[in-house]
Structures are given as structure tokens and as C-alpha cells.
Structure 1
């Protein structure tokens, strides 16, 4: 994996011509059949595929999407098109972190579109994305929810590899995360900045942290009561972050619309952000999705 990244990066350094990276596509469709959610279409091109589709006793399906190379460099592209039929229930995750490697001139691109049918339930729970020093990232994730659809999701982005003394001081980050409900845009979060931009130190941006997480819940149960519970969870993680030896952590939550809760998490390490994200998911799942908060077995492997 590292050898491939080094080879492509060297090629880019020697030439400003657009690199011929890997183009990968994955199209998945799930439908509710009888009392269970089933995979009914699976098409892929290049090194991006569905590793597993695991039916669950509660009628849901757990999907694990894998990118075997493990990372992207300039010229690479990943396209995911995921469709959930009416009344289906999918939990989608990944087995490991997505890595964005150094790219001298050209960005790597990832475009994900998720369509959630009427009355369907989606849990979008990927592992963190790690942006290496010198990476050029172009990422878009779009969720389109039909009337009556509900979901809980998160995204986590890590800038640099702090444990190895690496910071994100060279490169570029372009990221767009959006959510539409009944064909109306309910929320959009956009970042377009070069490494070293004041956004990363600003009190209105990353506040000097190197890890950012976003968690959201959509549904009629996204109430003030759940918001209060989320804020209590984040307060506890902030208290832990103040203890000696713990990574600094900051978190806040808001009710963006009557059916949408949002939480923003910032830290100096991915672990507290992911732990807090799982805690928010566990609090929301019984209310928003009417399902017991049982950790997916794939997370234990």
C-alpha cells in the first residue's frame, strides 16, 4: 500500500500532466423483501466493493464497503451510489480508515450518493478518514431522504498523523456533506481550504484541533429531549478530556430543524471522537429508529 502511494506521488512530482489513477465505482441497491432487507443489485468496477451484506434478526442488513488499496492519491476516484428501497433498513460501515495520501499536483476524488426510500432506515457509520501531509482531497457525500425516512450518521476526518509527529501543513481539503429531506436541502457543511488556512485555528472552525467529527439524527424523535441527552453525553466527554493525559475534546449539539439533530466534535485524537459518536448513536437509536442499541458484530473483528 505504502509502496503504491510513493510510486504514484513520485510520478506526479516529475510531471504536471494529469495522473492516470484508479477509477472505482460501486452501485448497491437494497430492498425490503418479506420481513427482511436484502441486497438486490451489486455492481462494481475497479478496487471498490461490498465485502459483506449480513442480514440481521431484526430485519435489517449490515453492509461493509471495502476499498482494498486502503488509500487514494492524485488522480484516483471513488464513486458510490447506494439506494435503499421503501421500508428497508441498512447499517453501512467500513472495516478500516480511509486514507488520503500525498499528491503533488492533482486531487483524489470521492463522491458518495445515498438515496433512502420512503419509510426506510439508514445508519451511516464509517471509520475515520485520515488526510496525510500533502494530500489533496475532493470529497462529497450526499444523502437524499424520501418522506418518512429516518437515519443516524456520522463522519470523522483526521488531519495528519499526530501520533507520528505529522501535521497537515501542506495540501488542500475540499469537502461537502449534505442532507436533503423530501427533495429539500435541510443541511449542508462545506470546507474548501489549503493547509495552514486560518479556518483550522479559528474559534469558528477547527479551533486548533486535528480531528473533526459530525453526527446527525433525522426523524420525528429528534426532539429537545434527545438533544438534552446528547449534550449531557458531550459534557461527559469534555470532562474526560480535561483529565490529565486525556486528549482534548470539545463538542456541541443543536436542533437544526424539528426533525434534525446535529453534533460537532473536535479533538486531538480520533479515539474520543469515535467513542463520543458511538455514544450519541447508542442514545439516538432506540428513539429515532426504534431499535435497541446493539453494537454491530463487524466492529468487534
Structure 2
């Protein structure tokens, strides 16, 4: 999810944050329609299309269909107000039913900011992908501003033949400022079994997060997860990211690695001085995973 860096006017009907923080959840449902009905609620021309029977924005989440030909529906999350602030509890639920395809992105970076209560903000993303379905979850970076405290969880439930491309990018502090506190957990289950479960923490109160064994002075960190049944027969190769072929990546340009998981998946992890160089590394990981 991505939210604007400024504070736009609050749309009519949007709930105002209270002293205890804002409560809001956005919901998306993608469903395969093999009849190819009207373009007002479906994407594609003829044959099977993906409909969006539920596209329910709430609070800071404004959901927009993005027109595109083909079977995959595309949705962009646009920020309707600055969030998450301290004390907020936000959620985004996306379900892609069997055979459907959804590309979910955002319009700008999400900026975690301090609130009035001193309490942490919570942002929970829940993704469900059915058999033969595909989800591309490609939000813009999450920026942890100085003084903020964000607890973020991403939980993914995959059917045995589901496909997933998931990108996470975290930038620790805006230009010239210290980072806030950021605790993040990513859990991915396939056919009810855990494929990936990892937890990270950065910023004030976390020991060693900026040491050479973790970020080594970098301020942008990210990962890209690709899950596809294609890896059952041919797992992804281990590859270093960044630098010319056969050369060790330069530390000031960022570094990363793409490696197979114990399942039909590949995980790229990268660190870089800034969001631009981090994105280059993760884009390279996408190309490498696709090339096998």
C-alpha cells in the first residue's frame, strides 16, 4: 500500500482520526468470470476475465481500478489521508479466488509518522490466493519517519497451485533524519504449511540493527518473494544481485541475493543506500527468477 507524503483534504464521509487513533480496513475480492461480462466490473475482452465484486476502500485507503487489457485485474491504492500515525490500526484484506488474477499496487510511498498518543501504529495485510490464481502484491516503499513506531504484519495463505509475486521495501528515515521504530513480520503458508515466516526489527530499542551483520550502514532494505508451481521441477538458482556478471557487487550500490526456498519459491533479499538502488536490485531479482 502507498500513501501520499502530504496531507490532502479529507474526503466527505471519511472517518476522522480520534485521540485513540484511526481504525480502518480496506477489502478487495477478485473473482474469475469465464463469461467475460461487462467492462464496468471486469477486466479483459472475451473469454475469462477477473471481476472485482468487492472493492471497498476505508479511511486512508482509496481503491482505484486501473484499466488494462487481459485476464489480470489491476487495482491501485491511493492515500486519502496521511497514515499510519501512532495509535492507528489499519488493515488491508485481498482475496483472489480460484483461477482469477490480480495486480495490486499503490500510487506513492507509505510514510509511518508519530501520533498524538505515543502508542505504536499497527498495519496488517492479509492476502489469500486460491488454486490456479495469481496475485502480484507490489506496493511502493514504506518509510519509517523519525519518532514513528509501526508494527506491520503481512500474512499470506496460498492454495497448492497459487502463484504469488510479493515485494516489500522499507526505507529507514526520510532524507537527513533518523529512522523510527519498525517491527515487521511476514508469514506465508502454502496448502496450510508454512513456506516462510520471518520477523525483522529496526530503529530505537533494537540492538545491533545497524551493525555490519545486519544493514551495514544502509538505510533501505527489501525483499521479493516469488511462489510458482514451476519451481517444483526446476528450483531457482542462487544468484548475487548487483554488479556486472561474475563480479562482486559494490557495497555503495547495495547488495542482495536470490535463493530458492524449501518449497516452490524463491526469495530475494537486498540492502541499499536508498530506495532507488534498492528497487533496481529487486527488479533484477524478478528478471533472474523469470529466467530460471
Distance of aligned partners of 1:284 and 1:88 in 2 relative to their CA distance in 1, 3 Å threshold? farther
Residue 149 of structure 1: aligned partner = 162
After TM superposition, which residue ranges in structure 1, 4 or more long, deviate above 4 angstroms?
1-5, 223-226, 237-241
Select the residue among 94, 98, 121 that pairs with 1:82. 94
Q: Which runs of 5+ in 1 are unaligned?
A: 6-17, 288-301
Distance of aligned partners of 1:248 and 1:282 in 2 relative to their CA distance in 1, 3 Å threshold? closer
Residue 251 (structure 1) aligned with residue 256 (structure 2):
yes
Question: Contact between 1:107 and 1:136, CA under 8 Å: does it hold in 2?
Answer: yes
Select the residue among 114, 131, 135 that pairs with 1:122. 135
Residue 297 of structure 1: aligned partner = none
Distance of aligned partners of 1:4 and 1:218 in 2 relative to their CA distance in 1, 3 Å threshold? closer
The correspondence of residues 31-42 of structure 1 with structure 2, limited to 5 A, is: 31-34=31-34, 35-42=48-55
Q: Which runs of 5+ in 2 are unaligned?
A: 9-17, 35-47
1:77 and 1:39 map into 2 onto residues whose CA distance is 25
2:245 and 2:185 map into 1 onto residues whose CA distance is 27
2:75 and 2:129 map into 1 onto residues whose CA distance is 15
How far has the Cα of 1:212 moved from its partner? Answer: 0.5
Structure 2 counterpart SS, 1:175: strand
How far has the Cα of 1:101 moved from its partner? Answer: 1.0
Distance of aligned partners of 1:208 and 1:60 in 2 relative to their CA distance in 1, 3 Å threshold? same
Structure 1 counterpart SS, 2:230: coil
1:21 and 1:75 map into 2 onto residues whose CA distance is 4
2:6 and 2:141 map into 1 onto residues whose CA distance is 22
Residue 273 of structure 1: aligned partner = 278
Residue 151 of structure 2: aligned partner = 138
Give the TM-score normalised by the residue count of structure 1: 0.79
Task: Report which stretch shifted further, 41-50 or 175-184.
Answer: 41-50
How far has the Cα of 1:256 moved from its partner? Answer: 1.5
Task: Report which stretch shifted further, 203-212 or 257-266.
Answer: 203-212
Q: Report Cα offsets for 1:148-190 as digits up to 9, x if no partner.
A: 00111110000012xx32122xx42221111110111110121
1:209 and 1:196 map into 2 onto residues whose CA distance is 18
Residue 8 of structure 1: aligned partner = none
How far has the Cα of 1:113 moved from its partner? Answer: 0.2
More helix, by proportion: 1
The correspondence of residues 214-229 of structure 1 with structure 2, limited to 5 A, is: 214-222=223-231, 227-228=236-237
Alpha-carbon RMSD: 2.8
Give the TM-score normalised by the residue count of structure 2: 0.81
How far has the Cα of 1:147 moved from its partner? Answer: 1.4
How far has the Cα of 1:67 moved from its partner? Answer: 2.3
How far has the Cα of 1:281 moved from its partner? Answer: 2.2
Residue 239 of structure 2: aligned partner = 231
How far has the Cα of 1:45 moved from its partner? Answer: 2.9
